[in-house]
């Protein structure tokens, strides 16, 4: 009497003989492998987040990104306003402020970039040397509907916003004619920015048009921005940094970028932004109109690794499909456990990629991780299929897949187009190769032996 086989023995036999069960099992394994793939993507995001935090900490200790606004002249004046106190109308005197924007304002300077290291992370910072020239036209104030005796010319101050005052590296002297005025910490009666400096500059009201000049050495991180407060704002910046990114509301009028650095020239008119020459307001929030340059760090290894990991399911599916075709062509039986081991090796590629790229360039890390996984999978499968030609085909197709993914990662604008064309051609080749396969009569070598033995009996 023949002993009844167990459930697992029957299942194992089905996996050997049934093509449908094989395909279903491979599909389930691919879905299950999405779990470790998602864990890998989460790991990459966590490492990227840690990198950004570390870079921000290093930059904050040096000095944050800088925004320079001004200088402007702030002049108090008396205003008589009607108010009601205990149902009695009264005229009271209050102090208001006039903020006069420059007639002309120019900044010329150079940024000297540095790369600070903390552990395996790098942060780009800079030291800047700036020279500013410009002019004010006090005659505009006389055109306002304010009695001359109500304008407190002697209490006039110059305000200049600097977003992170820790970056100021030298004493700033405001030169007007033959007189130097020393700036003091903090803004006075003008909220140009969260922080800044001011200088007392008593006026007579008869100065009319006068010029000014000052120098400033300023440290910062990532970027530097300017506010176009003058009728004509002119900014010229140069640096040895080879990959600038121009940011803000205005792009440079002229720019020149090379491997040796960049130069940029902005020219902004008062007609280009809705900021009047005289503002009667204590809150001067014009940051939306700023412009400047960022010392751009090229795409980090984490961004490229995350983009690569998004193709993980596709890579696993294609390689499993290759193995499946080799399996049916060679009439072999590859166990699901062996597929699991191969799938895990394909997933480990991404952890190798991100970990190695933290110590070397992304390109070298991709080459090392890809070569390691391709060789490992090929050697393992050669031990299973024991066919040098089939092993060579698997090796070549794996190399092609990883090479194709690498090309897509390097592309920016055309990545979707090239990827879509590549997938279409891959599907076309699969359809071409498999069009003559009789899927209903595929059998493994072991099953063929059984059928042949039954026929002989």
Predicted local distance difference test score (pLDDT) of residue 444 = 47
Q: What gap in Å lies between CA 368 and CA 353, rounded to an integer?
A: 8
Where residue 202 falls (left for φ over 0; alpha for ψ -120 to 50; beta otherwise) is beta
Which whole number is the average pLDDT over 435-441? 64
- Please indicate, yes or no, if residue 2 is contained in any of the structural domains: no
Are the C-beta atoms of residues 306 and 41 closer than 8 Å to each other? yes
Q: What gap in Å lies between CA 211 and CA 102, rounded to an integer?
A: 9
- Please indicate, yes or no, if residue 3 is contained in any of the structural domains: no
- Same domain for 320 and 226? no
Predicted local distance difference test score (pLDDT) of residue 437 = 65
Predicted local distance difference test score (pLDDT) of residue 1 = 43
- Same domain for 104 and 243? yes
Helix/strand/coil for 185:
strand
Are the C-beta atoms of residues 90 and 111 closer than 8 Å to each other? no
- Apex 396 CA angle, 390 and 399, nearest 5: 140
CA dihedral 265, 270, 275, 280 (to 10 degrees): 120
Are the C-beta atoms of residues 377 and 347 closer than 8 Å to each other? no
Number of domains in the chain: 2
Q: What gap in Å lies between CA 291 and CA 247, rounded to an integer?
A: 6
The domain boundary residue, chosen from 298, 325, 356: 298
pLDDT at 445 over 70: no
Which whole number is the average pLDDT over 323-337? 78
Q: What gap in Å lies between CA 398 and CA 328, rounded to an integer?
A: 18
CA dihedral 295, 297, 303, 307 (to 10 degrees): 90
Neighbours of 449 (CB within 10 A): 11
- Please indicate, yes or no, if residue 388 is contained in any of the structural domains: yes
Instruction: Show Cβ contacts of residue 329 under 8 Å, excluding neighbours closer than 6 positions.
Output: 390
**How buried is residue 250: exposed, middle or buried, by Cβ count under 10 Å (0-12/13-18/19+)?**
buried
- Same domain for 179 and 224? yes
pLDDT at 283 over 70: no
- Same domain for 268 and 318? no
Predicted local distance difference test score (pLDDT) of residue 264 = 94
- Same domain for 307 and 243? no
3-state helix, strand, coil in the chain (%, to 5): 45, 30, 25
Are the C-beta atoms of residues 162 and 218 closer than 8 Å to each other? yes
- Same domain for 352 and 429? yes
Predicted local distance difference test score (pLDDT) of residue 279 = 83
Q: What gap in Å lies between CA 268 and CA 217, rounded to an integer?
A: 23
Predicted local distance difference test score (pLDDT) of residue 440 = 62
Q: Are strands 196-200 and 261-269 parallel, antiparallel or unpaired?
A: unpaired
Which whole number is the average pLDDT over 175-197? 81
- Nearest Cα to 140, choosing from 303, 287, 292, 277? 277
- Which tens digits make up the pLDDT trace of 144-179? 888 888 888 888 899 998 988 888 888 888 888 778
DSSP bridge partners of 88: 85
Predicted local distance difference test score (pLDDT) of residue 441 = 61
- Same domain for 274 and 418? no
DSSP bridge partners of 125: 114, 221
- Same domain for 290 and 353? no
- Nearest Cα to 248, choosing from 271, 228, 220, 218? 228
133: domain CATH number is: 2.60.40
- Same domain for 115 and 206? yes
- Same domain for 290 and 383? no
- Same domain for 42 and 122? no
Question: Tokens 């000049």 — which residue?
Answer: 213
Could you tell me the pTM of the whole model? 0.72
- Please indicate, yes or no, if residue 278 is contained in any of the structural domains: yes
- Same domain for 348 and 429? yes
- Please indicate, yes or no, if residue 188 is contained in any of the structural domains: yes
Are the C-beta atoms of residues 321 and 393 closer than 8 Å to each other? no
Neighbours of 25 (CB within 10 A): 17
Q: What gap in Å lies between CA 258 and CA 20, rounded to an integer?
A: 59
- Please indicate, yes or no, if residue 4 is contained in any of the structural domains: no
- Please indicate, yes or no, if residue 223 is contained in any of the structural domains: yes
Considering only residues 278 and 2, tell me which one the structure prediction assigns the higher pLDDT.
278
Predicted local distance difference test score (pLDDT) of residue 37 = 87
- Calculate the average pLDDT of the chain: 82
Q: How far is CA 318 from CA 29, 58, 202, 305, in A?
A: 13, 43, 77, 19
- Which tens digits make up the pLDDT trace of 11-26? 555 555 566 677 777 7
Q: Residue 426: which domain range?
A: 16-51+302-443
Q: Give the DSSP letter of residue 150.
A: G
- Which tens digits make up the pLDDT trace of 228-240? 989 999 999 999 9
The domain boundary residue, chosen from 298, 317, 339: 298
Predicted local distance difference test score (pLDDT) of residue 235 = 95
The domain boundary residue, chosen from 267, 298, 329: 298
């Amino acid at each position: 009497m023949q002993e009844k086989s167990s459930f697992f023995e029957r299942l194992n036999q089905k996996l050997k003989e049934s093509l449908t069960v094989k395909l279903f099992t491979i599909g389930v394994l691919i879905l299950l492998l999405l779990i470790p793939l998602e864990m890998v993507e989460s790991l990459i995001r966590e490492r990227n987040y840690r990198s950004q935090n570390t870079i921000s900490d290093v930059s904050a200790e040096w000095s944050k990104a800088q925004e320079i606004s001004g200088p402007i002249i702030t002049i108090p004046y008396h205003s008589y306003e009607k108010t009601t106190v205990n149902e009695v109308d009264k005229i009271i005197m209050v102090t208001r402020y006039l903020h006069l924007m420059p007639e002309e304002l120019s900044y010329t300077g150079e940024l000297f970039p540095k790369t600070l290291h903390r552990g395996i992370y790098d942060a780009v910072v800079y030291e800047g040397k700036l020279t500013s020239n410009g002019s004010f036209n006090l005659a505009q104030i006389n055109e306002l509907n304010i009695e001359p005796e109500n304008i407190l010319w002697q209490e006039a101050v110059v305000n200049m916003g600097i977003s992170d005052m820790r970056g100021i590296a030298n004493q700033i002297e405001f030169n007007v004619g033959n007189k130097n005025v020393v700036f003091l910490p903090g803004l006075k009666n003008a909220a140009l920015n969260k922080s800044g400096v001011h200088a007392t500059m008593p006026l007579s009201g008869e100065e009319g048009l006068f010029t000014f000049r000052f120098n400033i050495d300023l440290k910062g991180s990532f970027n530097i921005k300017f506010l176009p407060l003058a009728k004509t704002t002119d900014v010229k910046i140069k640096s040895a940094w080879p990959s600038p990114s121009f940011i803000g509301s205005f792009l440079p009028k002229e720019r020149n970028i090379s491997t040796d650095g960049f130069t940029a020239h902005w020219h902004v008119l008062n007609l280009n932004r809705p900021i009047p020459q005289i503002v009667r307001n204590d809150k001067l929030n014009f940051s939306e109109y700023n412009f400047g340059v960022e010392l751009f760090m090229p795409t980090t290894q984490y961004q490229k690794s995350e983009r690569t990991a998004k193709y993980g399911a596709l890579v696993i599916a294609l390689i499993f499909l290759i193995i499946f075709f080799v399996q049916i062509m060679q009439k072999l039986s590859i166990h699901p456990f062996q597929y699991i081991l191969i799938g895990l090796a394909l997933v480990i590629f991404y952890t190798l990629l991100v970990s190695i790229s933290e110590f070397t360039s992304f390109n070298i890390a991709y080459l090392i991780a890809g070569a390691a996984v391709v060789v490992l999978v090929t050697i393992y499968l050669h031990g299973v299929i024991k066919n040098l030609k089939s092993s060579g085909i698997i090796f070549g197709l794996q190399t092609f897949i990883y090479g194709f993914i690498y090309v897509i990662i390097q592309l920016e604008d055309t990545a979707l187009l090239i990827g879509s064309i590549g997938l279409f051609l891959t599907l076309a080749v699969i359809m071409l190769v498999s069009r003559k396969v009789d899927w209903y009569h595929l059998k493994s070598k072991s099953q063929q032996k059984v059928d042949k033995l039954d026929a002989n009996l």
